[in-house]
Amino acid sequence: MRQLLACLIVLTACKGDPAPSSSSPPSSSPPAPARAKPAAVTADSGFCTLEASGAFSGSGTAPGDSGSFASKYWSKGAPAGVPSVALLLNCHATADVHLTIAALPTGDVPFGPKTYTVVPSGGDIAISGRAGSGILHMAGTFAITAWDTKHIAGTVDVSGKRIKGNDDVKITGSFDLPCHTCD
C-alpha cells in the first residue's frame, strides 16, 4: 500500500519536462521563459479549490484537465495488463497546496456518492498532500456528493503533520470535475 502511494506521489510530482539526455550537446539558446499560468476555470474545465490552515496558510483554485481525475468507471477499457483504479483525483490548487486522493486496491469505492473516513493507514481512500512541505498521516473526511457519467463533485477536510517541522496543518476544499473521456 505504501509503495502504491509512493508511486502515485512520484507520478503526480513528475509532470515536468524530461531531463535532457547526457549524450545531447548543450543548447546554445537562451533558457525557456517561465511557464504560463494554467488556463482559467470555465464551466467546461471544472475546478478544484483547496485552503490550507495551521502551520501553513495558502489557498487556490485550479481548473480541471484530463489529469485531474481518472476512474475505471469512466474508462472505455484499459489495455491488457494495465491495472485500473476506482478513483484517482489530483488537485494542484497552487505549487504549495495540493492533494492526491486515491482508492486503495482493497478499498470499497463504488460508483456514486459516498462519504469516506480517511485514516493514516488502511481504509478505502489514501490521501497524500503538500502544504508548504509534504504532509504525513492524513486523517479526516472525503465526501463524493455527486458522481455520474458526466462529472464528479465533493469536498475534502483532512489534517496531518508536515514533514518539515512536524507541525499540524489542515486542508479543506471542494471539487467539481467533468468527465474528459466520456462521450
Confidence (pTM)? 0.74
Domain assignment present for 165: yes
Q: What is the 3-state secondary structure (H, E, C) of the chain?
A: CHHHHHHHHHHHHCCCCCCCCCCCCCCCCCCCCCCCCCCCCCCCCCEEEEEEEECCCEEEEEECCCCCEECCCCCCCCCCCCCCCCCEEEEECCCCEEEEEEECCCCCCCCCCEEEEECCCCCCEEEEEEECCEEEEEEEEEEEEEECCCEEEEEEEEEEEECCCCCEEEEEEEEEEECCCCC
- Which pLDDT score is estimated for 6? 41
Domain assignment present for 78: yes
Domain assignment present for 153: yes
Domain count across the chain: 1
Domain assignment present for 49: no
**Residues 65-72: what's their mean pLDDT?**
86
For 119-143, the pLDDT digits (tens) are 988 899 999 999 999 998 899 999 9
With a cut of 50, say whether residue 32 has pLDDT above it.
no
- Which pLDDT score is estimated for 158? 97
- Which pLDDT score is estimated for 88? 92
For 139-155, the pLDDT digits (tens) are 999 999 999 999 999 99
